[in-house]
Amino acid sequence: MMSSTNEEDPFLQVQQDVLSQLSSTRPLFTSYLRIRSLSTSATSPELASARSDLESALASLVEDLADLVESVKAVESNPAQYGLSANEVARRKRLVQEVGGEIEDMRDELAKVSGASLSSSAARGGGGGGGNLPDPSSFAINDGETEDYAAQFEQEQQVMMMREQDEHLDGVFQTVGNLRRQADDMGRELEEQREMLEVVDNLTERLGGRLQTGMEKMKVVLRRSEDRWSSCCIGLLIVVLIILLFLLLLL
């Protein structure tokens, strides 16, 4: 997991924004160069639109980069006071210098316009955003060290990916915990239902035994009733036969 110190470090937060903005600005810069190379007029609407988008992106990028510069200058004199190592401060200085250099290159390309375009811009009162950009030399922090920016950017991307993976894993762990609690609740409910079924089975067995006993008693009673009615019928038949014989004798 990422430490809380890194998550609360304003430099790292702004650094992530700067790198993200820089990734978004590069395609704009490439598009501007392509349109400029194909355009036959410096006042082409498509070229003006591409230039405006690039200047706007650079202006926003410069503001955030200026915050990084101030942050590096603040901790440079005493890194230990802020819990930073000398290597980390050097890394931050290199990052600021490299990003500032890339911004300077983009501004140099924006400055490569025809004299007519410059005159037109001056007549409009310097409406382009490039004139408002600060001097890129203000971003330079000399430390005599160089490092491949692509590798540095890749490292920052890996840090971002690790942070996202940590957040994703936290969500997965929370989901698994919820599922485990639900499974425990279901297990308890099933156990309670099993106990209730056992009670019902016992009651059913007792009632079944009582019903069977009652049925046997009913059979005995019916059998006795049948025997008694049979005797009555036989006696009645004998009486009837005697009466018939008596009548025959009289006749």
Angle, helices 45-76 vs 86-111, to 10°: value is 160
Residue 249 inside a domain? The answer is: no
Which of 139, 163, 130, 145 shows the shortest CA–CA distance to 18? Answer: 139
Domain boundary among 147, 179, 203: 147
Digit-coded pLDDT (tens) for 156-205:
777 878 888 888 888 887 888 888 888 888 888 898 888 888 888 888 88
pLDDT at 8: 61
The domain boundary, picked from 147, 172, 197, lies at: 147
Residue partners of 67: CB distance under 8 A and separation at least 6: 10, 14
What is the overall mean pLDDT for the chain?
76
For residue 153, the enclosing domain spans: 148-223
What pLDDT digit, counting tens, does each position of 19-60 carry?
A: 888 888 889 888 888 888 887 777 788 888 888 888 888 888
pLDDT of residue 119: 45
Residue 240 lies in a domain: no
The residue type found at 46 is E
DSSP character at residue 113? -
Per-residue pLDDT at 1 exceeds 70: no
pTM (two decimals): 0.42
